[in-house]
Structure 1
Amino acid sequence: MTGGDADADGAQVRRLLLHGARRVVSRCRDFTAEALADWGWIPAGSEAGEERVEDVLLLVSEVVTNACLHAGGPEEFVLRHERGRLRVEVSDASPEPPRPRGPRSPALPGGHGLMVLDRLAGAWGYEARGPGAVGKVVWLEISLLPGRTPEPPPAGRL
C-alpha cells in the first residue's frame, strides 16, 4: 500500500497494490471507507450522505469482484479525489474488456455488476494500461451529493 499524495492536477490520490493479496474485495472496501472519511465524504447524521457512501462501497465491490472473477485478480486499486468527485481505478493483467452478460432474470444471482455500474456511477469505462504494461484499467466516477461540498479533512490527514 502507498499513502496519499497529490497528482499533477492537484487531486488527492491513494494507491493499494494487490498482487496476490487475499481478501481483496474487503481490503479495497476498507481502504475506500478510510479515504472517504479522511476526505469528508462521511457526514455525521446525514442519511443521504451515508447512502452515497454505501453506493461507492458497492461500486468498489463490483469492480474488484469482476477483476477477481474475469481477469485473474486486480493488481492495483487507485482512488483519486478532487472537488467532490471520486474516481476509482482497478488495474488487472487481462486485455479483455468488461462485457455485459446476455439478458437474464433479475431474480438470478450474479451477472448484474455492469448494470449496477450503469445505474450508480456517474460514468465508467476501461482503457488499456500505460506503455509497456499488459492489461487494462476499469474505472468509474461518482460525485458527492449535488449541492454539497466535502468537509475539510482533519488536520494532518489528506
Structure 2
Amino acid sequence: MDQASDVRTLALGETSGTVPLARDFTRSALHEWGWLPAATADRRAAAEDVLLVVSELVTNACLHAEGPERLRVLRLPKVLRLEVTDRGAGQPAPRTPHRSGRPGGHGMFIVQRLCLDWGIERTPGSPGKTVWAELSAPA
C-alpha cells in the first residue's frame, strides 16, 4: 500500500455544516478504499459505524472543544483510524452513569462501544488535542 493513498486529511476550522462535511469526506475515502459500496450487510454495518464515529467525534469537538480544526482518516493494515484535532483543553470521556433514555451525553459512549480503542494525544506547549478512535477494517 502506498502510504500517501492511505491517509486523507480535511481542514475544518470555521466551516458551517462541519459534521455533514466530515461524514461526506469520510464516505468518499471509504469509496476510494473499496469499503463502499458494501458487498455484504457486515461490510455495510462496518462503514456505517465509521461514519457514526466520525459524526460523534466532530460533534464533540463542536460542542465541547471550540470546534474541530482537522479530520484525518488513516487506513492501516488491520484498522481504520479516525483523528479529530481541536483547540479545546477538555478531556472527553463517556458520561457516567450512562442513561440511554436521556438526551445528550451519548457521543463518547458510542465511540467506546463501537471502537477497538480510542484516546487523546496532546502536544506539550500547544493548545488543544487530537481525539482518535480505531475501528476494525473489514475482512
* TM-score exceeds 0.5: yes
Matches within 5 A, 1:35-74: 35-74=29-68
Unaligned runs of 5+ in 2: none
**Counterparts of 1:133 and 1:12, CA distance in 2:** 27
Q: Say which one has the larger Rg.
A: 1
- One of 92, 106, 109 as aligned partner of 2:86: 92
How far did residue 112 of structure 1 move? 1.0
Q: Looking at secondary structure, tell me which structure has more helix per residue.
A: 2
Matched residue of 2:97: which SS?
coil
| Residue 119 (structure 1) aligned with residue 109 (structure 2) | no
TM-score norm. by structure 1 comes to: 0.80
Equivalence for 1:6: 3
**Counterparts of 2:31 and 2:125, CA distance in 1:** 35
Unaligned runs of 5+ in 1: 149-158
Matched-pair identity in %: 46
TM-score norm. by structure 2 comes to: 0.90
How far did residue 84 of structure 1 move? 4.1
Change (3 A) 1:95 1:84: same
**Counterparts of 1:135 and 1:36, CA distance in 2:** 28
